[in-house]
Amino acid sequence: MKTDIRILIELLKRKYNVQNQGIKEEPLTFQYLKNQNSVHIIVTNEGEEIPVYADGNRHPDSCMILPSGTDIEKEIYACVNEYTEWKEECFKTIAISSSVNHVLEQCASILSNPIALFDDSLVLTAYAGKMPASVEGTIWEEVLSKGISRPEIYSKEEADLIARQLESGKRSFVWKSTLFHGQEHICAQVYRNGVPFGILGASDLYGGFSKGEIQLVEEVSDMISLFFSGNHENPEEKTSFYSLERMLNGLSVNEIAMQKSIEPLGWNIHDCYSVSSLRRGKSNEYAASSWQKRIRNMFPDALVMVHEDHLVLLVNKTKDHDFQLKGLQEEFSFACGTGMPFHDLGKLHYSYIQSLIALSYAKENENVDFSDAAEKVHKIKKAHQIDGFF
């Protein structure tokens, strides 16, 4: 098994607590090792020789300076064995475990810093690794206390950076936080069958991110992606609302199919309903889906769907008399449009269209009801003496 030279140097560095020098980045296969005048030469699979010195002096272009008398050959093979055994255990855990917590715990065992797994809306899913006695003043304080990593805790520049890096398709990226006293953070995208599914994040609680540590975080993201791409059920997919999605598009659905689609929720097609369309910032399907689970957590009794480029919130007002969107506006900057209440789920499409009309008049942090939007349109048309349909 090939061992990346960056990972090898990182594992050696941990053993001796030494600083990296100029690290070459060629993939490494141990064809042989040789000793020349106390200079140990590692030969890579490309045939390029990389010197590793075992004395107290600095040497130009060396990878590391190790203590005098170090059995370099023994230590290098020990690091390779550590890495190989770790990878084998990760694959084994992925194969036999149904818990992402167990998988992340095994995968994170090789990392210097604890790491967290978030879904696309930055809700904490799992975390692993040794946590210090106090996380006060770090990003972990927010994450562990609230179970989320709120976008508001980043500066606008940091939020823009994160969004750009994730959209660029980079495997990982590192940046220093302005809010958390210059702490270093790393993010890596997690995929499920090639589709972005979540984010791994860590901070430098026990030291910064070397090239080797970054590579290890990327390998952990590969492992978690492999786990989610297997036959592991996504709890958000237990119930299919295909019939309701057809209705949003104005397509017909028979009453039996309609009732079956809402049975898991304990709803009846003749309850009182309201529908809202929500949009936040840049309008696209990925941005909408990344907020879906968070909105579900805020409104567990409502149904949240991604439709086209925005979120649709269907509320059963018969079951939830006191439902309000106020909390959503206080927490996040959504623009919301809400249609008129209706008592026949078969009329969902008409109320949905009303919500879209209302949404077109809503600003960020604002919810506009269709009746208010209709009144605005009526006043505008009256002012211009234009006949309309309102």
Q: Do 113 and 61 fall into the same domain? A: no
* Assessment of whether the complete model's pTM goes beyond 0.85: no
Task: Reply yes or no on whether the pLDDT at 268 is more than 60.
Answer: yes
Q: Do 263 and 350 fall into the same domain? A: yes
Q: What is the mean pLDDT of the chain?
A: 77
Alpha carbon separation from 32 to 50, 54, 120 (Å, rounded): 12, 18, 45
Question: What was the pLDDT predicted at 106?
Answer: 95
281-286 contacts: CB < 8 A, separation 24 or more? 281/333, 281/364, 283/309, 283/310, 284/309, 285/309, 286/196
Length of the chain: 390
The confidence band for 315, taking pLDDT boundaries of 50, 70 and 90, is very high
Question: What was the pLDDT predicted at 390?
Answer: 42
CB 65 within 8 A of CB 9: no
The predicted model gives 268-292 an average pLDDT of 74
Measured torsion, CA atoms of residues 96, 97, 100, 105, in degrees rounded to the nearest 10: -90
Token pair for 339:
């249609």
The predicted model gives 159-178 an average pLDDT of 77
Q: Where is mean pLDDT largest: 91-95, 228-232, 239-243, 366-370?
A: 91-95
Q: How many CA atoms lie within 13 A of 123 on its CB side?
A: 14
Looking up tokens 């106390």 gives 38
Question: What was the pLDDT predicted at 150?
Answer: 59
The confidence band for 231, taking pLDDT boundaries of 50, 70 and 90, is low
Q: Do 246 and 219 fall into the same domain? A: no
CB 164 within 8 A of CB 183: no
Q: Do 312 and 365 fall into the same domain? A: yes
CB 325 within 8 A of CB 298: no
Final residue of a structural domain among 54, 82, 110: 82
CB 56 within 8 A of CB 68: yes
DSSP SS3 for 250 = coil
Final residue of a structural domain among 232, 263, 289: 232
Least reliable range by pLDDT among 23-37, 46-60, 280-294: 23-37
The confidence band for 310, taking pLDDT boundaries of 50, 70 and 90, is confident
The Cα–Cα gap between 13 and 212 comes to 10
Final residue of a structural domain among 82, 117, 146: 82
Task: Reply yes or no on whether the pLDDT at 218 is more than 90.
Answer: yes
Percent of the chain with pLDDT over 70: 71
Q: Do 373 and 261 fall into the same domain? A: yes
Question: What was the pLDDT predicted at 237?
Answer: 42
Question: What was the pLDDT predicted at 276?
Answer: 93
Instruction: Give how far the C-alpha of residue 354 lies from the chain's centroid of Cα atoms, to the nearest Å.
Output: 33
Give the residue numbers spanning the domain of 25. 1-82
User: Does some domain include residue 309?
Assistant: yes
- Choose between 220 and 74: higher pLDDT: 220
The Cα–Cα gap between 29 and 24 comes to 14
- Give the count of domains, the chain: 3
Question: What was the pLDDT predicted at 236?
Answer: 43
Question: What was the pLDDT predicted at 273?
Answer: 94
CB-based contacts of 247, cutoff 8 Å, min separation 6: 253, 258, 345, 346, 348, 349, 352
Q: Which residue from 49, 44, 28, 1 is spatially nearest to 212, judged by alpha carbons?
A: 28
CATH code, 188: 3.30.450.40
Task: Reply yes or no on whether the pLDDT at 171 is more than 50.
Answer: yes
Q: Do 279 and 150 fall into the same domain? A: no
Q: Do 311 and 374 fall into the same domain? A: yes
Q: Do 59 and 112 fall into the same domain? A: no
The confidence band for 354, taking pLDDT boundaries of 50, 70 and 90, is very high
Question: What was the pLDDT predicted at 53?
Answer: 66
Question: What was the pLDDT predicted at 70?
Answer: 75
Token pair for 371:
């009746």
Q: For residue 197, which phi and psi values (nearest 5 degrees)?
A: -125, -25
User: Does some domain include residue 92?
Assistant: no
The predicted model gives 270-275 an average pLDDT of 93
Question: What was the pLDDT predicted at 38?
Answer: 63
DSSP SS3 for 267 = coil
Task: Reply yes or no on whether the pLDDT at 331 is more than 90.
Answer: no
Q: Do 70 and 116 fall into the same domain? A: no
Question: What was the pLDDT predicted at 191?
Answer: 86
Percent of the chain with pLDDT over 90: 23
- Choose between 8 and 227: higher pLDDT: 227
Q: Do 274 and 218 fall into the same domain? A: no
Q: For residue 65, which phi and psi values (nearest 5 degrees)?
A: -110, 115
Task: Reply yes or no on whether the pLDDT at 285 is more than 50.
Answer: no
CB 219 within 8 A of CB 198: no
pLDDT tens digit string along 118-146? 876 677 788 899 888 888 878 888 778 76
User: Does some domain include residue 173?
Assistant: yes
